[in-house]
Amino acid sequence: MIKPRVGVYVCHCGTNIAGVVNVEDVTKYVEKLPNVVTAKHYVYMCSQPGQVLIKNDIKELNLNRIIVASCSPRMHEPTYQTALEEAGINPFFFEMANIREHVSWAHINEPERATEKAKDLIRMAIARACLLEPISKMEVNVTEKALVLGAGVAGITAAYDLAQMGFEVYLVEKESHVGGHLALLNQLSRSRDASEILTSLTQKLSTPKIKLLNNSEVVEFTGYVGNFKAKIVQKPRYVNAKCDLCGKCEDVCPINLPNRLNFGLNQRKAIHLPLPNSYPPIYVVDKENCNGCGNCLKICENGAINLNDKPLEIDVDVGMVIVTTGFEPYKPDGEFGYGKYKDVITQLTLERILSKNGPSKGELVTPSNGKSPKNIAFIMCVGSRQESCDNQTIKPINAYCSRYCCSSTLKNALLIKQNSPESNVYVIYRDIRTFERGNEELYRSCRASGITFIRFKQDVPPTVEKTSNNQLTVNVKDYLFKVNMEINVDLVVLVEGMVSRNDTDDVRFKFSITRSEDGFFQEAHAKMNPLNTFAEGIFIGGACQGPKDVEDTVLQASGAAAKAAIFLCRGKVVLDLVTATVDEERCTGCAKCVNVCPYKAIELDETKELVQVIEVKCKGCGSCSSTCPIGAVQVRHYRDKQILAMVENILPS
């Protein structure tokens, strides 16, 4: 082995580090350690001059190991590794000592001890660096196809963008219709008919580049970036494309069921069209509730129905995945009389009521008696911005703001007020967050239209009750005018927030992605990388990443498509082989490691009585090496001896 020649670079990070740690002292100390050829400190190592410093030293001093003592490797490890590569040495001859998050920020009031700790961390890093080995790269081809999971507005947008670039896309949708929540809305704020928008989206699905798989789920997902394999199961629809929407089947079907998509406000048959403007425009049989009478079969003139259809299993190879699974509306759990009083509804139900293709054909009526309500109250932030407080009415579940709902509420409030100016509309709110372009004007229009705004504080939330004469009333303390108000109302609309879907974990484990504290999928970096995940080749967009409206959903979806397009256009990815490796001399073939590998990347070769690593599948997680009883499997770059060298260096000798 060539003798290590180490260069150490201590970063000030402005004053982030140098304000606490005595960088000069650290540098002087480090300089004298064995194998260290040079040690320097500089104000911003990540800046261009900082990197030039490293590159020049590598060339001039013939360095072969580089240590940067700065921040967390999460952001800048790749930055420095590229610098090493550019200077002509293997990027894995690099080690970072985190003296910001782990030192200067953590021990802000103890500069002396912080300085000592920084020295320790760097000494450990040097010990490991001396034992590092070069890691090679492997280039693999990228399958020029993508899988988009979820055909809401986000999924359709992303799929169509990639299709326009010429790539084939499998668009997998759980439901029998596409459009997600957009399909249920009446209007969007800044007024456009939601069904018009849906139509302009669904028109895009006719391109042969997009293979829409409705009623489908990904049941198995394996592989690695550029070369994923998905097994998709498509449940039968029992009706094929010959269906011309004549609707005769529906007339003869004997089964009546509450219509789930209209929140039970009307009924549908077992054979039904999910929504009047459903895409694909084909009926579907709800097989769970179908009694198999065959009435529909007999009456269908097109022979479109086959009640014996079987599920289809479809295996696809794709290079990239975009997850666009959207959200779920928060379901009030009894608060504000929801579930107890029929005329306490959620805003999504209101959208259905107001929609021309909804249960009352767009006429505003109350669920209890079908009359048009005169007094309507909206209660906002239901299921959002909940902080723990003594009051039990609000459960501390979702701390975040749901972002879409203020503007959406005002849109509906104004619509109702404009359609029947004699009605009394109350908006009971905490803050009005009409931040989107143009929606401040919507807010002004609402104020001018005579809608009553009542501000409440979370610790004194409104209550909804029925009085003895069966009158629905809202009691609320107006926080601005300091008065208690008792408002008789005919309809209460709870403005529900967005929550992460209850199958989020299923998707998360299948695709090896993570969730943020708020439950939604986590982006690779909250500020700089909102569309990537920590899993390479898997991107997120739309409301599955966090609550947002249609406009922002579309932007993220296109952005995520761009991220996928980068790999698809290049056609190749380069993988670092930080993977497990087997010492064939020592392996006994016990195969304990085969069982623990979550990626199925280790196989037993029975003839040789040895295990073998499939390098492209291995993610370097280390499960195998920690299981092997004799240490015959090691992960490159994290070998036992490299880790132990660090430990030994910190223990008192």
Partner 1 sequence: MDLRKKNVLVIGGGVCGIQSSLDLADMGFNVYLVEKEPSIGGHMAQLDKTFPTLDCSACILTPKMVDVARHPNINLLTYSEITNISKGDRFNVTILRKPRYVEEEKCTGCGICTEHCPIEVASEFEMKLSTRKAIYVPFPQAIPLVFTIDKEHCITCGLCEKMCEAGAINYDQKPINMSVKVESIIVATGFNSFDARKSGEYGYGRYDNVVTGLEFERLLSAGGPFGGHLARLSDGKIPKRIAFIQCVGSRDEKSGNLNCSRVCCMYSTKQAVLAKEHVPGVDIQIFYSDIRAFGKGFEEFYRRSENEFGVKFIRGFVSEILEDPDTKNLLLRVEDTETEELIDREFDIVVLSTGLWPRNDIELMEKTLNISRSNDGFFAPAELQLSSVIATTSGIYIAGAAEGPKDIPDSISQASAAAMKASISSVRTHIGGITDD
Ligand X SMILES: Cc1cc2nc3c(=O)[nH]c(=O)nc-3n(C[C@H](O)[C@H](O)[C@H](O)COP(=O)(O)OP(=O)(O)OC[C@H]3O[C@@H](n4cnc5c(N)ncnc54)[C@H](O)[C@@H]3O)c2cc1C
Q: Which of 68, 96, 129, 182 binds ligand X (CB under 6 A)?
A: 182
Contact 462/428 with Cβ under 8 angstroms? Answer: yes
Smallest separation (angstroms) from partner 1 to the CB of 509? 22
- Would you count residue 185 as binding ligand X (CB under 6 A)? yes
Q: Which residues pair with 633 in a beta bridge?
A: 582
Q: Which residues of 82-93 are buried (b: 16+ CB within 10 A; e: fewer)?
A: ebbeebebbbbb
Say how many residues touch ligand SF4, by CB under 6 A.
15
3: partner contacted, choices ligand SF4, ligand X, partner 1, none (Cβ within 5-8 A by kind): none
Q: Which of 127, 428, 531, 646 binds partner 1 (CB under 8 A)?
A: 531
Mutual orientation of helices 73-86 and 48-61 as an angle, nearest 10°?
A: 50
| Site track 476-505 with ligand X (rule: CB under 6 A), x = hit | -------------------------x-x--
Contact 66/33 with Cβ under 8 angstroms? Answer: no
Smallest separation (angstroms) from partner 1 to the CB of 210? 10
Q: Which of 316, 414, 495, 575 binds ligand SF4 (CB under 6 A)?
A: 495
Smallest separation (angstroms) from partner 1 to the CB of 470? 36
The separation between the first and the last C-alpha atoms of the chain, rounded to the nearest angstrom, is 26
**Tally of CA atoms within 13 A in the half-sphere of 418 that contains its CB:** 11
Q: Which listed range, 7-15, 31-39, 117-125, 632-640, lies at the site for partner 1 (CB under 8 A)?
A: 7-15
Q: Which of 8, 63, 67, 380 binds ligand SF4 (CB under 6 A)?
A: 380
Contact 146/172 with Cβ under 8 angstroms? Answer: no
How far CA 307 is from CA of 284, 290, 413, 424, 480, in Å, comes to 10, 10, 45, 51, 61
- Would you count residue 119 as binding ligand SF4 (CB under 6 A)? no
| Site track 151-190 with partner 1 (rule: CB under 8 A), x = hit | ------x--xx-xxxx---------------------x-x
Contact 296/287 with Cβ under 8 angstroms? Answer: no
Contact 332/339 with Cβ under 8 angstroms? Answer: yes
Count Cβ atoms within 10 A of the Cβ of residue 341 and give its class: 0-12 exposed, 13-18 middle, 19 or more buried: middle
Smallest separation (angstroms) from ligand SF4 to the CB of 642? 49
175: partner contacted, choices ligand SF4, partner 1, ligand X, none (Cβ within 5-8 A by kind): ligand X
Q: Which listed range, 3-11, 59-67, 403-411, 600-608, lies at the site for ligand SF4 (CB under 6 A)?
A: 403-411
Please state, in angstroms and rounded to a whole number, the distance separating the CA atoms of residues 247 and 191.
Answer: 31
Residues 462-521 that bind partner 1 (CB under 8 A): 479-480, 482, 516-518, 520
The encoded tokens of residue 394 equal 């609000």
Residues 206-225 that bind ligand X (CB under 6 A): 217
Q: Which listed range, 37-45, 147-155, 310-318, 580-588, lies at the site for ligand X (CB under 6 A)?
A: 147-155
- Would you count residue 402 as binding ligand SF4 (CB under 6 A)? yes
The encoded tokens of residue 79 equal 């930055």
Residues 21-50 that bind partner 1 (CB under 8 A): 43-44, 46-49
Please state, in angstroms and rounded to a whole number, the distance separating the CA atoms of residues 103 and 233.
Answer: 51
Coil/strand/helix, residue 156: helix
Q: Which of 340, 109, 145 is nearest to 223 (CA)?
A: 145
- Return the sign of the alpha-carbon dihedral for residues 293, 298, 304, 310: positive
Q: Which listed range, 47-55, 99-107, 288-296, 539-547, lies at the site for ligand X (CB under 6 A)?
A: 539-547
Smallest separation (angstroms) from partner 1 to the CB of 422? 29
Q: Which of 255, 297, 562, 621 binds partner 1 (CB under 8 A)?
A: 562
Angle at alpha carbon of residue 268, lines to 265 and 270, rounded to 5°: 145
Residue 206 gets which letter from DSSP?
Answer: G
324: partner contacted, choices ligand X, partner 1, ligand SF4, none (Cβ within 5-8 A by kind): ligand X
Bridge-based pairing of strands 375-382 and 491-496 is parallel
Q: Which listed range, 13-21, 402-410, 466-474, 516-524, lies at the site for ligand SF4 (CB under 6 A)?
A: 402-410
Please state, in angstroms and rounded to a whole number, the distance separating the CA atoms of residues 521 and 128.
Answer: 35
Q: Which of 90, 222, 333, 268 is nearest to 617 (CA)?
A: 222
Q: Which of 133, 196, 313, 431 binds ligand SF4 (CB under 6 A)?
A: 431
497: partner contacted, choices ligand X, ligand SF4, partner 1, none (Cβ within 5-8 A by kind): ligand SF4
Q: Which residues pair with 272 in a beta bridge?
A: 284
Smallest separation (angstroms) from ligand SF4 to the CB of 117? 40
Footprint of ligand X (CB under 6 A): 149-155, 172-175, 180-182, 185, 188-189, 217, 324-327, 329, 347-348, 351, 404, 408, 411, 501, 503, 507, 542-544, 548-551, 553
